[in-house]
């Protein structure tokens, strides 16, 4: 049996993170709530965005962000994303 990861969750588990104390992602909650599709909930490979079932607001688990830019493509109207400061965020390994 191979030690290679099979699922996206397995692969994401191999990344190293240095979380910042503050989020590098903000969401305009009113625009998020007004979006009938909310594709950001399904498009993000790291499941950074989750809808709160009670308030309907977007919960941002920024510490999971893999800095792929999917949110820029899927929800540019209400997601503001910047690279984390000072070497924080995801650290990829070569190979």
40-85 pLDDT, tens per residue?
Answer: 999 998 899 999 999 999 999 988 888 888 998 999 999 998 776 6
- The reported pLDDT for the residue numbered 42 is 95
Strand segments, DSSP code E, in 2-85 are 16-18, 25-27, 49-51, 58-60, 79-81
Fold of 26-84: Alpha-Beta Plaits (3.30.70)
Which tops the pLDDT comparison, 90 or 51?
A: 51
Asked which of 6-15, 58-67, 81-90 is least confident by mean pLDDT, the reply is 6-15
Query: CA angle 50-59-54, nearest 5°?
Result: 80
Residue 1: pLDDT band by 50, 70, 90 thresholds? very low
């Amino acid at each position: 049996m191979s030690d290679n990861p099979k699922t996206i969750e397995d692969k994401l588990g191999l990344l190293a993170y240095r979380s910042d104390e503050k989020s590098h992602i903000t969401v305009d909650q009113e625009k998020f709530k007004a979006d009938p599709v909310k594709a950001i909930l399904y498009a993000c490979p790291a499941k950074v965005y989750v809808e709160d079932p009670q308030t309907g607001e977007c919960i941002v688990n920024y510490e999971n962000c893999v800095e792929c830019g999917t949110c820029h493509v899927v929800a540019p109207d209400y997601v503001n994303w910047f690279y984390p400061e000072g070497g924080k965020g995801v650290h990829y390994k070569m190979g």
